[in-house]
Amino acid sequence: TQWVYSFGDGAAEGTRDMKNLLGGKGANLAEMSSIGLPVPPGFTITTEMCGWYYDHGGRYPDTLDEQISKALSRIENSVGARFGDAENPLLVSVRSGARVSMPGMMDTVLNLGLNDKTVEGLAKRSGDPRFAWDSYRRFIQMYGDVVLGVAHHLFEEALENLKLDKGVDLDTDLDANDWRDLVEIYKQEVKTHLGRPFPQDPQEQLWGAISAVFGSWKIDRAKVYRRLHNIPEDWGTAVNVQAMVFGNMGETSATGVAFTRNPSTGERMIYGEFLINAQGEDVVAGIRTPQYLTREARENGNSAKPSMEEAMPEVFAQLKGVFQTLETHYRDMQDIEFTVQNGKLWMLQTRSGKRTANAALKIAVDMVAEGLITEEEAVMRVDPAALDQLLHPTLDPSAQRDVIAIGLPASPGAASGTVAFTADEAEARAKEGEAVILVRVETSPEDIHGMHAARGILTSRGGMTSHAAVVARGMGRACVSGAGSLRIDVKAGEMTVGGRTIYRGDTITIDGGTGEVMAGHVPTLKAELTGDFASLMEWADRYRTMAVRTNADTPHDTETARNFGAEGIGLCRTEHMFFEGDRIIAVRQMILAEDEEGRRRALDKLLPYQRQDFSEIFRIMRGLPVTIRLLDPPLHEFLPREEKEFSEVAMAMHVNAEHLRRRALDLTEANPMLGHRGCRLGIAYPEIYEMQARAIFEAALAVGEEFGATITPEIMVPLVATESELAFLRERIEAVAETVFEEKGQRLTYLVGSMIELPRAALTANEIARKADFFSFGTNDLTQTTFGISRDDAGGFLPLYVEHGIITRDPFVSIDQKGVGELVRIGAERGRETTPDLKLGICGEHGGDPDSITFCQSAGLDYVSCSPFRVPIARLAAAQAAL
Ligand code: ADP
Ligand code: MG
Ligand code: MG
């Protein structure tokens, strides 16, 4: 087996496509070397070796030693120095490098190969003893810390003490003798803590460092990181061994980091920092203030120190050329490390640069214009999930912030407003035109109207999937949840935090993207949906094959979704319509009615309201498809809960409160989620669905006439388990249709379909499809019923499951492809066996999750439907899934 891959001198055994084997760093060092960029020679020990090492209890195969010796002598020949040679020593760096960059892995060891003898050789040959001893002390510190486990701060303290003794501020003020003294102190430190001297044998040093890199794959920090980022344990890390180049050789040497474009705005410019006479991490470690690369940046930053462009014009020009080469070669923005040794430029790393969502968008669109990438590639470049940041208002970055608490970033967007502690108050003040932030310990379904009225929601309890978080995301409201340091006193109308008191009516600002809570008003900037954003969306629409609809049930949400490019409504829930204004009285009358006739009387009062609701939505969607789901939740949800409410309702309805309470008790269920809801309700009280169907048909005919077009409503029956349920209800819906058509003397086409949200429905989809024109997979309920986990109670144990790695992702956030997904696949397949042109869609949270959308594409669905603010995300994700 080839365990070792060499690079250097304009050639390499590896390529950039070998990241799996060589790690990201190793693959790109090889690539840069082959395209002729100046890379110090070196070799990469493969990630396979890491696997072997763990499979064999921390040993190495016999062949490794030989392969390393060979690769090492190549470096020696190239550099013209020998590893361990007292006169002319070769020094190397040992660097870890997994497939993806992974903080928490072993730090790099620089200057390896130095010992009491070679340091003298280095001093003599370089003619610079200060440099040699500086390198040696750096080496002992890094090796001591990283490989031998001697605490970092011990070295730092020794250095600080030395500087105090000498009365100097900066490392650069120390001379060769000082460094020599420090080396002695360091060696002593190691001996005290280890009980043995610092290893002098370069071979021992090398193997020690290699083993430390492999060993660091399994330290806790790295494991935690992998779990959080879904990185498989068996990937392993590679080890890179590379000839040292020295940025600490005096005024003509330097080290730096740069991006080929601005990573926060995406602007095409050289962006980065460098430090003269420094090594490795000095730039980022903040040892001295780094200098700018370009004159322009230096001027903008008002820095007195010269930029690289000014201090080293020739090397800078060369670096600029390298940036150009890298960008044309990689066709992406690069994040690079470089070192200048005695006026010569060396490249030490390149990778695709991390960037903000804004920058990702700008870079992708710019690169299409520059002819570097195609539209398809641009579509693939932007992470759909990151778009979320761009769709909401953000805090003005130049504004002052007085942060008083930090909670969870539960729903993106920034919002300012006055504090209201109850939903009713929030609603009342919002009606007056006030911007309100609803502050609650936690929210419940009864707070929905207040959440809707508020600009933002802040809770002191609850996680990322708490009621507040889920509902706020759905509505596109900013939300910070679980800000535990808030003490909320609803009665007193105040909250305290960190010794400060905030009263109702006081202004606060929340940032749902970071979790920050700020006192006072912080100005926000509106989302910009034109320009680059619009271009990318246009390309996405060109390449996707699935349609994107929205889950919306108010004119406002519908409008928002249309602006975001929704191509119809995939789920219009009708239940909240029953709560609005005075209607709830009619609804309660209907529930309390003793017989069908009484129920019909109450429903007749609701009919005009429902017709109005549907008309508005049909109008906004202007002929785009609209799927309306008939009433789903159990009736008791519409009854009052609190004593006071009971008596109020009783009074308004002229019934006695006792009667009302009894009825509520009758309707109470042990397990409402699996109780009398969905189509079961429609079967027990067909008149409810009949009223809804009538409202739909009447509204569709009327609005169709306004537009001079036909509207094709899609009526969806919830919680179907058997074909016969759907058959029973379909017959009634058809009868209503015929009656309405006759009354109005007009007809229209309409569809009747089924939610598929029970395992039985998916399994018998071939039968249900006989009565259905379309299916919509309700994956929220399907996840609940497949796992047997109630979404509202999952908070108690799902986080633990994720922590223990029993599941990797919350199945309510991203679809469980093996189980729930399999049911979707089965449902789609069997449904189409019976009805080949059956329209298939998904509604529920998963419709806006990029991974779930990729899955939907593979399952052959026709559309996804998601909350309004996720529509652009879904458009982009659907395009990526199709490409
Ligand atoms: P990380 O992955 O944390 O960036 P690196 O292996 O890239 O770790 O290295 C840490 C620092 O050491 C970087 O600044 C890098 O440029 C520098 N460095 C690594 N190898 C060499 C070398 N052979 N010569 C000079 N500097 C090096
Ligand atoms: Mg690096
Ligand atoms: Mg459901």
Q: What is the ipTM of this complex?
A: 0.95
Q: Which CATH class is domain 254-355?
A: alpha beta
Q: Got the DSSP string for 487-529?
A: EEETTTTEEEETTEEEETT-EEEEETTTTEEEES---EE----
CA-to-CA distance for 173 and 163, rounded, in angstroms?
9
At residue 777, the 3 state secondary structure works out as strand
Query: Cβ(341) to ligand 1 under 6 A?
Result: no
CB atoms within 10 A of CB 238: 31
Q: Please give the structure tokens belonging to residue 149.
A: 């486990």
Output the pLDDT for position 526. 80
Query: Cβ(242) to ligand 1 under 6 A?
Result: yes
Mean pLDDT by 10 residues, the chain (883 residues): 96 96 97 97 97 95 96 96 96 94 79 97 94 95 94 92 91 91 95 95 97 91 81 92 94 94 90 91 77 92 91 96 96 96 96 89 96 97 87 87 92 93 94 94 86 94 80 85 92 93 96 93 85 95 97 89 94 87 84 87 94 94 93 88 80 81 86 93 95 97 91 96 98 98 96 98 98 97 94 83 84 94 98 96 93 97 95 97 95
Going from the Cα of 755 to the center of ligand 3, the distance in angstroms, rounded, reads 8
Alpha-carbon torsion (332, 338, 340, 346), positive or negative: negative
Query: Cβ(108) to ligand 1 under 6 A?
Result: yes
Output the pLDDT for position 104. 62
CA-to-CA distance for 325 and 372, rounded, in angstroms?
12
Query: Cβ(273) to ligand 1 under 6 A?
Result: no
CA-to-CA distance for 508 and 418, rounded, in angstroms?
6
Nearest CA to ligand 1 atom 14: 280
Going from the Cα of 368 to the center of ligand 2, the distance in angstroms, rounded, reads 29
Asked if 86 contacts 203 with a C-beta cutoff of 8 angstroms, the reply is no
Produce one character per residue of 655-670: b if its CB has 16 or more CB atoms within 10 Å, e if not: eebeebbebbeebeee
**Closest ligand to the CA of 216:** 1
Output the pLDDT for position 310. 95
Query: Cβ(350) to ligand 1 under 6 A?
Result: no
Burial class of residue 535 (count of CB atoms within 10 Å of its CB; 0-12, 13-18, 19+): middle
CA-to-CA distance for 796 and 331, rounded, in angstroms?
46
CA-to-CA distance for 805 and 334, rounded, in angstroms?
34
Output the pLDDT for position 798. 86
Tell me the fold of 544-634+669-882: TIM Barrel (3.20.20)
Asked if 840 contacts 862 with a C-beta cutoff of 8 angstroms, the reply is yes
- Catalytic residue IDs: 467, 843
Going from the Cα of 277 to the center of ligand 2, the distance in angstroms, rounded, reads 18
Going from the Cα of 627 to the center of ligand 3, the distance in angstroms, rounded, reads 14
Q: Please give the structure tokens belonging to residue 615.
A: 């008309």
Going from the Cα of 581 to the center of ligand 3, the distance in angstroms, rounded, reads 25
**Closest ligand to the CA of 338:** 1
Give the neighbor-by-neighbor strand order of the sheet with 494-497: 487-489, 494-497, 500-503
Query: Cβ(339) to ligand 1 under 6 A?
Result: yes
Query: Cβ(348) to ligand 1 under 6 A?
Result: yes
User: In 3-state terms, the chain is what percent helix, strand and coil (to 5)?
Assistant: 50, 15, 35
Q: Please give the structure tokens belonging to residue 657.
A: 């409160």
Nearest CA to ligand 1 atom 22: 244
Which pTM value belongs to this model?
Answer: 0.82
Asked if 625 contacts 714 with a C-beta cutoff of 8 angstroms, the reply is yes
CA-to-CA distance for 271 and 301, rounded, in angstroms?
12
Residue of 72, 90, 135, 337 with the most ligand 1 atoms within 8 Å of its CB, for mutation: 337
Reading phi first (left if > 0) and then psi (alpha if -120 to 50, else beta), residue 338 is in beta
In the chain, domain spans: 49-243, 254-355, 393-525, 544-634+669-882
Q: Which atom of ligand 1 is nearest to the CA of 103?
A: 3
Going from the Cα of 349 to the center of ligand 2, the distance in angstroms, rounded, reads 6
CA-to-CA distance for 345 and 300, rounded, in angstroms?
26
CA-to-CA distance for 326 and 347, rounded, in angstroms?
11
Torsion of CA 799, 803, 808, 811, to 10 degrees: -10
Tell me the fold of 49-243: Dna Ligase; domain 1 (3.30.1490)
Query: Cβ(418) to ligand 1 under 6 A?
Result: no
- Contacts of residue 788, defined as CB under 8 A and 6 or more positions apart, other chains included, come to none
Torsion of CA 33, 35, 36, 40, to 10 degrees: -10
Q: Which CATH class is domain 393-525?
A: alpha beta
Q: Name the residue type at position 865.
A: S
